[in-house]
Structure 1
Amino acid sequence: MPVPPVPPALARNAVETWGTDGRRWLDDLPDILDAIARDWRLRLGRPFDGLSYHWVTKATLEDGQRAVLKLGPPGQGHLDVEAATLEFYQGQGAVRLLAFDPARGALLLEQAGTPATHLVPARDEEATEAAITVMRRLHRPPPPACPLPSLTTVSATFSTHLQRFPADAPLPRHLVERAGRLFAELCADSSDTVVLHGDLHHDNILRADREPWLAIDPHGYIGDPGYEAGALLYNPGPDDRDEALLKLVPARVERLADGLGLSRERIVAWGFVKAVLSEVWTAEGGGAPGSRALDVALHLLPHLP
């Protein structure tokens, strides 16, 4: 079947992130699509807009069920983690995993609706409540021998950044040092361990029919439930540094604390850590930090425990 041109952002990210494996995957993409469509008996639609790291397209199963096909370079591990996380959720709070082919880097997923992004800022309270509802559904104790990584593995991201950037650029060093220490403290004194989505924000919370909202694109960790709240403080659209969006943070903190049964101080701490971590990831990928995540971190800094 004819494949639409690969968006420049996807082509660039695939090569920069996965090197020769990413280039090979891009070259093989038309053949992979043909084989998956044939073997899974799918009718493929056009890919979604804004593709960045994966090829994602609507699909229709032989029985008429609507689905989403997600492809990425096989053997890199990230799709295996997503599949394992969705397999654990079994459709509770997240889209169902319909099929997974690790050798070809293919996930077939239940299709959901529009993201909670459209609720912000006019109906921000409703968007936060949607996230709380989803988190309550997702957060359950991990099973024995759970294959998902511990959240503590993320700690190395802070130390690696500090070694790479010994000065106050591209991020103030004291912020990264404080976030790294606080991350370790929050993990160490956690009283609860659950399976985390790992990247829960407004764009990854979609309206649905069988449940009001369903999560997509889990990164999958085992750790403290408070971590999940962090990304909700600087999303959606973190590149938009509108002061009005920053003013939504205090109400979100209160609502998340009440809805998740966590202290306000813990939500603030995880919010600060996750906001700094987001900027560290930006620097790690060669980008220039300076999004609303940084604004949120600086806003929360005076309120840390």
Structure 2
Amino acid sequence: MPEYLKKYSKDWKINNARKISSTATGDIYLVESDDKRAVLKILNDLGVKDELPGSYFLKICEGLGAARLFKFDERALLMEYLPGENLYQFSKINNEKRASEIFCEVIRKIRRPAHTIDSKRLVDYAKLFSVLEDIEIKKEMRELFECARYLVRELLKTQSEEVILHGDLHHENIISRATGEFVCFDPKGMVGDPSYELGTTLKNPWDYPEISQNIEIFKRRAKYFSKELLLPYNRVIGFSFVHLCLSMAWALEQGTNYEHQLKLAQKLFQTKILG
């Protein structure tokens, strides 16, 4: 038994641990805790650096719209087991409208004004945008990044609200409980403009480009989110474009593919809807 698994099995009274997956940030185990199924995630060094704000986000939500967090420290977290399917179940039957409804239900539950909670342990989303200035970009991206940098300045200057943010809210990060209620998990844990939350949402479902790369569907979804969540449409669109450029910058840093983000960003830029 790995050292950390042995430690948490003893300290948190966990039984019957079975490794079910590994991610870039740690190992995930299905376990029993207090005679119930739970999920234990033991973090590696990257996870220790990146995931602690997400644990604080789950603690703040207290199970409302988000997975219940039972215990956590700087090296591990123990959370509820979610047995259901993610939102791809709707994408694959071309029912993105239902997926959008669930996104809104979850966002309404997790949204809290930042000033009402202790948000010091969450990430200030404004820190993300520096990469747009620092990264060495490809020629095909220059016009897009110039637009993104302008939008960031305008969006931050006109921001009037700050809330806690999941920060990575896409179809695979929302799963149903045994009761059928959908909740989010695997948050980044941020504070920022509420419209930023939809940036990841709108570039997905990644595995269904007939939805995520269709600009008319994109605009229709953005309008729906704007109406249902009482967010200005131009800010939803603006932050979605900025997030696409952020995602490309991160892909460049990591040496991964950015074709999906580039195609969608170009379509948004060419439609002249960015203001």
Fold match by TM threshold 0.5: yes
Amino acid of the residue matched to residue 269 of structure 1? G
**1:71 pairs with 2:38:** no
Residue ranges of structure 1 left out of the alignment (5+ in a row):
2-29
Which of the numbers 255, 262, 268 marks the counterpart of 1:300?
Answer: 268
After TM superposition, list the pairs within 5 Å mapping 1:143-154 onto structure 2: 143-144=117-118, 146-154=120-128
- Tell me the SS of whatever aligns to 1:108: strand
Question: If each structure's strand is expressed as a fraction of its own residues, which one has the higher value?
Answer: 2
Q: 1:298 to 1:154 in 2, by over 3 A?
A: same
CA distance in 1, matches of 2:248, 2:213: 16
Amino acid of the residue matched to residue 257 of structure 1? S
Q: 1:244 to 1:152 in 2, by over 3 A?
A: closer
Question: Identity rate of aligned residues, in percent?
Answer: 30
CA distance in 2, matches of 1:46, 1:237: 29
CA distance in 1, matches of 2:10, 2:85: 28
Contact 1:257 1:264 in 2 (8 A): yes
- Tell me the SS of whatever aligns to 1:172: helix
Specify which structure has the bigger relative contact order, considering alpha-carbon pairs within 8 angstroms and separated by 6 or more residues.
2
Amino acid of the residue matched to residue 40 of structure 1? W
RMSD over aligned CA atoms reads 2.1
TM superposition shift of 1:45? 4.3
CA distance in 1, matches of 2:57, 2:28: 18
- Tell me the SS of whatever aligns to 2:259: coil
Q: What do the CA deviations read for 1:199-250 (whole angstroms, capped 9, x no partner)?
A: 1111111112467211101111111000001111121225x6x345422312
After TM superposition, list the pairs within 5 Å mapping 1:29-44 onto structure 2: 30-44=2-16
After TM superposition, list the pairs within 5 Å mapping 1:235-254 onto structure 2: 235-237=204-206, 242-247=209-214, 248-254=217-223
TM-score, normalising length from structure 2? 0.89
After TM superposition, list the pairs within 5 Å mapping 1:10-29 onto structure 2: none
Contact 1:152 1:184 in 2 (8 A): no
TM superposition shift of 1:255? 1.3
Residue ranges of structure 2 left out of the alignment (5+ in a row):
none
Q: 1:261 to 1:55 in 2, by over 3 A?
A: same
CA distance in 2, matches of 1:266, 1:201: 19
- Tell me the SS of whatever aligns to 1:214: strand
TM superposition shift of 1:268? 1.3
Which of the numbers 38, 48, 70 marks the counterpart of 1:98?
Answer: 70
Which of the numbers 142, 155, 163 marks the counterpart of 1:194?
Answer: 163
Which of the numbers 196, 206, 226 marks the counterpart of 1:257?
Answer: 226
Contact 1:155 1:184 in 2 (8 A): no
TM superposition shift of 1:147? 2.2
